[in-house]
Amino acid sequence: MQWGTFVAIGDSFTEGLDDPGLDGQYRGWADRTAERMAQNNPGLRYANLAIRGKLLDEIVAEQVPLASTLHPDLVTFCGGGNDLIKPAADPDALAELYESAVSQLRAAGSQVVVFTGFDTRDTPVLRRVRGKVATYNAHLRAIADRHDCLVVDMWSMRVLQDRRMWSEDRLHLTPEGHHRVALRTCEVLGVPVDEDWSAPLPEVPPATWVTLRRDDLHWARVHLVPWLGRHLRGISAGDNIQPKRPELAELAESSCGGAADR
């Protein structure tokens, strides 16, 4: 299908951390997907309203109404991950809120793409919320069925279990990780691609136990402890951050990293 307008909403995953672009902003899977879509439809207009650190209720309150007023042909909607890592998170309640947003977007005439959460089995600390993520994912699939949405199933993307797909903070994808998610999204949308998102990375010698534990300690000191401190103080990484593409506009060549590159 020729999508004429595309709006991406969500948190840091959709904003594009940690995938730097040529214009000084983060690029990410959503921008990469838009670039590939524009190859077949140069007139595509695209907006990205996602902001790092946003909770689901903030996305629903701030980004969904704006996206609805734009009446885009297509909306990608990934949210809830920042909520699920909280001890008191209720995936059932989150799903109800998510569905209310999907209803609003569908009523505005947009096709909606739903994203499941990643499988956190091999991720330190986050593996503790794996059951909640699985429950939330089941809800998301049911919501997609009820509202005739498309689904990008990231839980089943085993290639993302490779540590090289994740940046040093173990919360955000590397450029290669964003590249793979963009390929998977294009597949769901029917956008032609010439690569296989599931192709494994070249094999490398496994890291030693000592190296893995040293990396864990570095990660805890540099990333986990500061994150916990911000969380306890109620500080969000998205405070005072504005959307990088707040309005529907055609993609400028100078701001694109190139649809086929890494």
State how far the Cα of 41 lies from the Cα of 39, in Å rounded to an integer. 6
What confidence tens digit (pLDDT) does each residue in 142-155 have?
A: 999 999 999 999 99
Domains of the chain as residue ranges with CATH:
5-245 (3.40.50.1110)
Q: What is the DSSP string of 185-217?
A: HHHHHT---SS-TTPPPPP-PPPPHHHHHHHHH
pLDDT exceeds cutoff 90 at 236: no
User: How is residue 98 written in tokens?
Assistant: 């998510």
Cα–Cα distance measured from residue 3 to residue 191, given in angstroms and rounded to the nearest whole number: 10
pTM of the model: 0.90
pLDDT at residue 259 in the model: 43
In the structure, how many helices (H) and strands (E) does the chain have? 10, 6
In this model, does residue 9 exceed pLDDT 70? yes
pLDDT computed for residue 253 by the predictor: 54
- Tens-place pLDDT, residues 76-91: 999 999 899 888 899 9
pLDDT average, residue stretch 201-222: 79
